[in-house]
Structure 1
Amino acid sequence: MAFAGKYQLESQENYDEFLEATGLQTAKTDHKVVTEVVQDGDNFTWTQSIPGWSWSIKFTLGQDCELESMKGVKFRGTVTMKDGKIALQFPEYFFTAEMADDKLIMICVTPGEKGVAFKRVSGRI
């Protein structure tokens, strides 16, 4: 499917502001994040990694499942897909991902009137 593959960070916007807004300052890195998406129908394994660190979640589109945020917070959620865009409400932010011109585009928006929108664009490797 469209999402399956391995991607490396090419650009990002509002990275520092997002880390501060979510309390993830210790996750700051100068390494190029690699995202790997394994997809079998509606079943996904989504992994992000840098040297010495990796975070992974498994989910099935449209099904409630137990997930874990990058902060280690366990929560229940349902990942949806509409118009080719994956969406999930994490405890700290709302996440969307889509493919455009063979690029993986992820957007995370923190809640509130002054929410921070973090955008990451990764190219297929």
Structure 2
Amino acid sequence: MTKRSCKMSFSGKYELESQENFEPFMKAIEVPDELIEKGKDLKSITEIVQNGNDFKITITTGSNVIHNEFTIGQETDFAMITGSKIKSVVTLDGANKLIVKLNSVTSATELSENKLLDTLTIGDLTYKRISKRI
């Protein structure tokens, strides 16, 4: 079995442009109401540094910073918005989509031209984030 490598470069800074279903999704993953209220109108900046299959991702929303590092295909501890950590493996779907299952949440991050599209799904609830490269 050959390890596929990520052909597109995700590296860059992205600013949140729009989001759908933020509040219902955050409630579903048990984020406290006060954090949901604080976070719903804040702009979020995602910074990605990619070196081959190695990624460093920092998401800054207001004063909240989440930092994760991973290599495609290797188990890693992921820091969550709730403060917990979850072990999982990121896989590559095609040349431009990263998929990770974090307990009951499936996260897909796709690069499309100068947009970063994040789709998080829990059950039949989908939270979408669209960020533009800055």
Using structure 2 for the length normalisation, give the TM-score.
0.84
Q: 1:8 aligns with which of 5, 12, 15?
A: 15
- 1:70-96 Cα shifts (integer Å, max 9, x gaps): 212222211000112100011241100
Structure 1 residues 26 and 90, CA gap change in structure 2 (3 angstroms): farther
**Which segment is superposed worse, 97-106 or 70-79?**
70-79
Identity of aligned residues (%): 32
Matched, 1:89 2:98: no
Contact 1:5–1:36 (8 Å) recurs in 2 = yes
Give the direction of change, closer, same or farther, for the CA distance of 1:55–1:103 in structure 2 (3 Å limit).
Answer: same
| Residue of structure 1 in register with 2:53 after alignment | 42
Instruction: Give deviations 1:7-59, integer Å, cap 9, x for gaps.
Output: 00111111111111111244322111111111111110111112311011110
Asked whether 1:102 is paired with 2:114, we answer: yes
One-letter code aligned to 1:61: I
- SS of 1:27 mapped into structure 2: helix
Rate the CA distance shift 1:109–1:119 in 2: closer, same or farther, 3 A.
same
Q: How far apart, in 2, do the equivalents of 1:123 and 1:26 lie?
A: 27
Gaps of 5+ in 1: none
Q: How many residues align?
A: 122
Matching of residues 8-87 of structure 1 within 5 Å:
8-24=15-31, 25-28=33-36, 29=39, 30-83=41-94, 84-87=96-99
The structure having more radius of gyration, on CA atoms, is 2
Q: 1:104 to 1:31 in 2, by over 3 A?
A: same
Q: CA RMSD in A?
A: 1.4
Q: How high is the TM-score relative to the length of structure 1? A: 0.90
Q: Distance in 2 between matches of 1:7 and 1:38?
A: 12
**Structure 2 unmatched ranges of 5 or more:** 1-7
